[in-house]
A and B are shown apart, each in its own frame.
Chain A
Amino acid sequence: MDGISFDVEVGKTLGIVGESGCGKSVTALSIMGLIPKPPARIVSGSVEFEGRDLTKLKDSELENIRGKEIAMIFQDPMTSLNPTLTIGTQITETLTRHLGMSRSEADRRAIELLDEVRIPNAKARLKDYPHRYSGGMRQRVMIAIALSCHPKLLIADEPTTALDVTVQAGILDLLEELRQEHQMAMILITHDMGVVAEAADDVVVMYAGQIVEQAEVLELFDHPEHPYTEALLGALPSLEGESGREARLASIPGRPPDLLNPPPACRFAPRCPHANRQDSCTTEPPELRELRPGHWVRSAHPACERAAVAV
């Protein structure tokens, strides 16, 4: 991952979208200081949270922020819960660790939290082990744990990817309600453009470890500028509108580059339909530039400039 910059405003949702291996989860883990070092290294850059640079904090200081002010939920609620501990124990652990609550206080709060994430019959269910919960219910427990210390920022890494669509809808609704209630900002990491369209206020599109496009959500879907974003939207089979049975899907030829040996200039150039001839984009890496206020693109051939040339 290389040169990532973005801001998340208080109470807003930033969607980070990209395909597997594009660096979206690594971005999130770096914010949390959870990248194993070595082998990984944060060579440069800063993560500022309410004015403090998280990359410069000591581990012990970071631990106080992690879980308390910034919380994280992961894709697989099956593996992020400890199967040998009851749900109750796992929720109260955070409460006693970060908030210094007593056992009985923590128990009471745990019931409130399960109520808050709409788990019926919360009191009895605290004594259950994770295997007694369905995937959607487990993700609700993870959200309850994440919310327990009233974080200001929630990082959700593919929170609904392992879930069925009807369960996903419930989780997305829940996250939205809780976010509004608690004035919480969210970073939502996903590969699903539909989830981004539903839940994000602002969007970052990543490709091969870089941000290739960044804009407000309506602007991004109305006027995608980067050839990769355009291709990604074009490659999605549609659920509504004209029948897709006959039309060919626009596919993106080739596959994402090997990040150990990325293309020298624009990382999308080898798959880009607009990169050709002695183009600058095959010789020098394009910078992220602001085409319109708030709309950033890393490409020598954004859609609006191609249109201008065509006329």
Chain B
Amino acid sequence: MSTNGKAKEPLLAVRGLEKYFPVKSGFLVERTVDYVKAVDGVDFEIAEGTTLGLVGESGSGKSTTGYCVLQLLKPTGGSVRFDGEELTELGNERLRKMRRQMQIVFQDPYSSLNPRMTVGDIVSEPLVVHGIGTRKSRRESVRQLLDVVGFDPTYTNRYPHEFSGGQRQRIGIARALALNPKLIVCDEPVSALDVSIQAQILNLLRDLQRDFGLTYLFIAHDLAVVRAMSDTIAVMNQGKIVEAGPAEQIYTSPQNEYTKALLTAVPVADPRRQRERKAERRRLKHALTEGF
């Protein structure tokens, strides 16, 4: 675990974060009749160089939280302090500068890469946008970045469709690393990948964290994957964090009923153990929620 004992301000501190989406109704003249509280008063912080795993089921608000942290969605309320700056109050220009420090890796390596751009252009785009380096130095940066993520740099002139999901996710990670960020929001980075490829990408993300001191907000629905990646965990349900704490504590002695239900619902790859877990799950059945 990468706690270095020094008490310092966390790299990211989120307080009372809210994101409400209006529900509109009416013909010709629309008016807001209600709000969907996608994120409803979320607090967490992440120390530099560590990973917070944000878990929850679909619709729990975990991805919306990630987007609000990066100000890709404007939060309805609350505070997001990153590296000493209050992001919710920054103007566009300052925010653009701050964005160098915060990047995102998306779930779907098939739709998050522009199919008309070459691998080299995709990875160098952040550098171009932020006016970093010359054409020549950028070409060299791209080679280094691709090398770091284990992607053969001789393929920079190829297009994304020529590669498998795992290789595309490496391209997405190289793009996220291009500006040498401090924080990377990983939004379900391996859920579209097969198990054998998933392990490669998880190992890569851990190596990058170790080598570059990266801080991750790791958003995923797969509890086993989150456990393998996280120092601390926050469990989200219906827009709220229902339980948070050191990773092992959440997995070994969950306190919240929803967390318990979520943990026992995951089938483990051990038939004997799974029989016991199934019995446990049925005992907890009343706590299982299923929307209609």
Enumerate chain A interface residues (CB-CB to B < 8 A).
19-20, 120, 133-134, 136-137, 164-170, 172-173, 191-198, 217-218, 221, 231-233, 235-240, 243-245, 248-253, 255-256
Complex-state Cα separation, A302 to B80, whole angstroms: 54
Q: Which of B26-34, B64-72, B99-107, B270-278 binds A?
A: B270-278
Q: Which 6 A-B pairs have the closest CB atoms?
A: A194-B267, A251-B199, A237-B228, A193-B269, A252-B196, A164-B57
Residues on A with C-beta less than 8 A from B227 are 237-239, 243-245
Is the pair A238, B224 in contact by a Cβ cutoff of 8 Å?
Answer: yes
Given contacts A166-B288, A233-B269, A235-B196, 7 further A-B pairs with CB under 8 A are A166-B262, A197-B269, A197-B274, A237-B225, A239-B224, A245-B227, A255-B196
Is the pair A245, B265 in contact by a Cβ cutoff of 8 Å?
Answer: no
Q: What is the chain A residue whose CB lies nearest that of B207?
A: A248
The A-contacting residues of B in range 260-289, CB under 8 angstroms, are 261-274, 278, 281-282, 288-289
CB distance from B276 to the nearest CB of A (A): 11
Instruction: Report which of B206, B251, B264, B268 forms a contact with A197, defined as CB distance below 8 A.
Output: B268
Is the pair A245, B292 in contact by a Cβ cutoff of 8 Å?
Answer: no
Is the pair B292, A133 in contact by a Cβ cutoff of 8 Å?
Answer: yes
Complex-state Cα separation, A197 to B262, whole angstroms: 18
CB distance from B58 to the nearest CB of A (A): 6
Is the pair A245, B290 in contact by a Cβ cutoff of 8 Å?
Answer: no
Is the pair B292, A137 in contact by a Cβ cutoff of 8 Å?
Answer: yes
Query: B214-229 interface mask toward A, CB cutoff 8 Å, 1 = contact, 0 = none?
Result: 0000000101110111
B248 on the A face (CB < 8 A): yes
Residues on B with C-beta less than 8 A from A173 are 282
Instruction: Report which of A166, A245, A249 forms a contact with B199, defined as CB distance below 8 A.
Output: A249
CB distance from A198 to the nearest CB of B (A): 4
B149 on the A face (CB < 8 A): no
Instruction: Report which of A166, A239, A248 forms a contact with B268, defined as CB distance below 8 A.
Output: A239
B1 on the A face (CB < 8 A): yes
B231 on the A face (CB < 8 A): yes
B203 on the A face (CB < 8 A): yes
Instruction: Report which of A137, A193, A194, A235 forms a contact with B198, defined as CB distance below 8 A.
Output: A235
Residues on A with C-beta less than 8 A from B79 are none
Complex-state Cα separation, A285 to B291, whole angstroms: 50
User: With A198-B267, A239-B268 in contact, do A136 and B290 touch (Cβ < 8 Å)?
Assistant: yes
